[in-house]
């Protein structure tokens, strides 16, 4: 079975490629390398001792995308490709709508042309907006607080509409919470270009001396220590969830939605303290004002994924921090060599 992974050279994409290859799938990657590196795919092949096919292309390029489908017998698509930073989306909403929404429409158009009916879509817990209660279940009301989240919610609605028009489509919407960590080999991980936009890469770069201190956005939330609380999930657990979703697609059940998270909320300060304990390095931080679009707390009820996908997160925060630190120590400049 051949799986096309859009954005497969990225953080979650590369880890998912490892799990797909280890599970015996053939993997074809398309990535424009704007926020990723081809070196990640070289390392995926080194980790698994298996090969994959790579096409450097943008999913907005319908002609290139069509040639890929023409060249490869694609059975299903795992769709990661898109811009993903909440703060940046507030500053650059047009880019987010154009890349995320138009790119996905282009991909769906090409899939339809080649009769590919199966997709796992990379959605996000941001579609729940500011939830009235936690943990969050899949049937909670949906709303958004930033353009990034709005693109994900729009695309969920679009994919549901496409299913209504064509019930032979099989789509799984995976709403992830906050992926962190790295492969245990220390060979692949999140590799931000420039100053990191996510918490743990920022912490690891402070720990290694590339950045002076961490900015904590807000200490006045209604949480136990005032900092934001999130459901941090190990990226390998998340990647394995995609393999389970591919297995589920073969049952032809139409359109399904699952949360992928641990069900545990950790504050920003919890993560700092845990990382400091794991690494033996104090992480200096300064409190800044809240970021636009951020919410106080967000963590999952992932019991539906356990019941229907036979999936649950295995790794805790200590393991996430250990693996992230191993990656950063082994790769102080990321994939740059």
- Least reliable range by pLDDT among 27-41, 168-182, 185-199, 204-218: 185-199
Alpha carbons 171 and 42: distance in angstroms, whole number = 29
CB 159 within 8 A of CB 119: yes
286 exposed, middle or buried (CB, 10 Å; 0-12, 13-18, 19+)? exposed
Burial 76-97 (b: 16+ CB within 10 A, else e): bbbbbbbbbbbebbbebeeebb
55-109: pLDDT as tens digits: 999 999 999 999 999 999 999 999 999 999 888 899 999 999 999 999 999 999 9
For residues 214 and 120, give the distance between their C-alpha atoms in angstroms, rounded to a whole number: 34
pLDDT reported for residue 45: 98
Q: For residue 3, is pLDDT > 70?
A: yes
Q: Give the pair of three-digit tokens for residue 252.
A: 């032809």
Close Cβ partners of 133 (under 8 Å, ≥ 6 residues apart):
none
Q: Map residue 233 onto helix, strand or coil.
A: strand
Q: Which residue matches tokens 């990640």?
A: 40
Average predicted confidence (pLDDT) for the chain: 96
Asked whether residue 327 carries a pLDDT value surpassing 80, the answer given is yes
Selected catalytic residue, list 148, 176, 202, 221: 148
End-to-end CA distance of the chain: 34
Assign a CATH topology to domain 2-180+234-263+299-313.
Rossmann fold (3.40.50)
Which residues partner with 123 through β-bridges?
175
Which token pair is 229? 């609380």
Give the pLDDT confidence score for residue 193 in this predicted structure: 83
pLDDT exceeds cutoff 70 at 178: yes
The predicted structure's pLDDT at residue 87? 82
What pLDDT does residue 337 have? 61
Which residues does residue 256 pair with via DSSP β-bridges, in sequence order? 172
* Active-site residue flag, 285: no
* pLDDT one-digit tens code per residue, 300-310: 999 999 999 99
pLDDT at res. 195:
85
Distance CA 105, CA 157 (A): 12
204-239 pLDDT, tens per residue? Answer: 999 999 999 999 999 999 999 999 999 999 999 999
Per-residue pLDDT at 11 exceeds 80: yes
pLDDT, one tens digit per residue, over 23-45 is 999 999 999 999 999 999 999 99
The 10s digit of each residue's pLDDT in 133-147 is: 999 999 999 999 889
């Amino acid at each position: 079975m051949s799986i096309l992974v859009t954005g497969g050279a990225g953080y979650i994409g590369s880890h998912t490629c490892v799990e797909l290859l280890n599970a015996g799938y053939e993997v074809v990657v398309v990535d424009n390398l704007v926020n990723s590196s081809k070196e990640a795919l070289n390392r995926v092949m080194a980790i698994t001792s298996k090969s994959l096919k790579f096409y450097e292309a943008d999913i907005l390029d319908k002609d290139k995308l069509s040639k890929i489908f023409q060249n490869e017998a694609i059975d299903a698509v795992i769709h990661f490709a898109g811009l993903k930073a909440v703060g940046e989306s507030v500053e650059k909403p047009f880019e987010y709508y154009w890349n995320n929404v138009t790119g996905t429409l282009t991909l769906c158009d090409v899939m339809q042309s080649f009769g590919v009916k199966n997709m796992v879509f990379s959605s996000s817990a941001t579609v729940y907006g500011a939830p009235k209660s936690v943990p969050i279940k899949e049937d909670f009301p949906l709303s958004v607080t930033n353009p990034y989240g709005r693109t994900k919610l729009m695309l969920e609605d679009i994919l549901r509409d496409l299913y209504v028009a064509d019930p032979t489509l099989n789509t799984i919407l995976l709403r992830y919470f906050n992926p962190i960590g790295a492969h245990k080999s220390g060979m692949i991980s999140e590799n931000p270009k420039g100053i990191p936009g996510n918490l743990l890469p920022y912490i690891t770069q402070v720990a290694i001396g590339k950045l002076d201190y961490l900015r904590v956005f807000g200490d006045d939330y209604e949480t136990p220590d005032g900092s934001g609380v999130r459901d941090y999930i190990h990226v390998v657990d998340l990647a394995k969830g995609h393999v389970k979703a591919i297995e589920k697609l073969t049952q032809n059940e139409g359109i399904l939605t699952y949360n992928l998270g641990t069900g545990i909320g950790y504050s920003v300060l919890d993560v700092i303290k845990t990382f400091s304990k794991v690494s033996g390095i104090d992480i200096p931080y300064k409190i800044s004002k809240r970021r636009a679009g951020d919410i106080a707390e967000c963590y999952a009820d992932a019991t539906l994924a356990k019941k229907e996908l036979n999936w649950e997160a295995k790794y805790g925060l200590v393991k996430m921090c250990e693996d992230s630190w191993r990656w950063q120590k082994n790769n102080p400049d990321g994939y740059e060599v």
